[in-house]
Amino acid sequence: MNKNVLILCTGNSCRSIIAEALINAQIENVRAYSSGVNPSSRVNPNAKKVLEAHHLWDKSYHSKTLNTLENIEFDLVITVCDHAKESCPTFSKTTPTIHIGFDDPDGKEYEAFESTYKEIEQRLLPRVKAILSEEKQTKKLT
């Protein structure tokens, strides 16, 4: 059974798109989506470049609003910036929400995007795996 994860950021142009791609590539039975509370309507060229360098770019990745994902039930919501954390919407069911903040690489050199990629891979992916694994174990016990 696939789990749906939402990564929420302010502009949905860098961090959330990188996280979406990493989760989709590296965690089995999980489908990640990203959105912005105030989407920029573009993917940062360096975010795209870092995903291309790691062979994770997919043309379906784009900046979008949360209402484009309203028909999806999420098993986990992750905010990756303080603004998204503060303005995170309430979801209809009891959806776990966590915050793992990352510095915004927007406006910085490519190396900052590579650092953000590595940090998301090292900090966010293990947390997602652990939370969804705990959820699975809890359901087996009930």
Cβ(45)–Cβ(54) below 8 Å: no
pLDDT bin (cut points 50, 70, 90) of residue 141 is very low
The predicted pLDDT at position 83 comes to: 61
Indicate the pTM of the whole model.
0.89
Residue range 19-59, pLDDT digits in tens: 999 999 999 999 999 998 888 889 999 999 999 999 999 99
> What strand order describes the sheet that includes 30-36?
30-36, 3-9, 76-79, 97-99
Is residue 70 pLDDT above 90, yes or no? no
Q: Cα(31)–Cα(127) distance, rounded to whole angstroms?
A: 15
Condensed to tens digits (0 to 9), the pLDDT of residues 94-132 reads 788 888 999 999 999 999 999 999 999 999 999 999 998
Domain that holds residue 121: 3-141
Which residues are annotated as catalytic?
9, 81, 88
Counting the structural domains of the chain, the total is 1
CATH code for position 96:
3.40.50.2300
Q: CA-CA distance, 82 to 98, in Å (whole number)?
A: 11
Can you point out the beta strands (E) in the chain? 3-9, 30-36, 76-79, 97-99
Query: Could you give the angle at the alpha carbon of 26 between the alpha carbons of 24 and 31, nearest 5°?
Result: 25
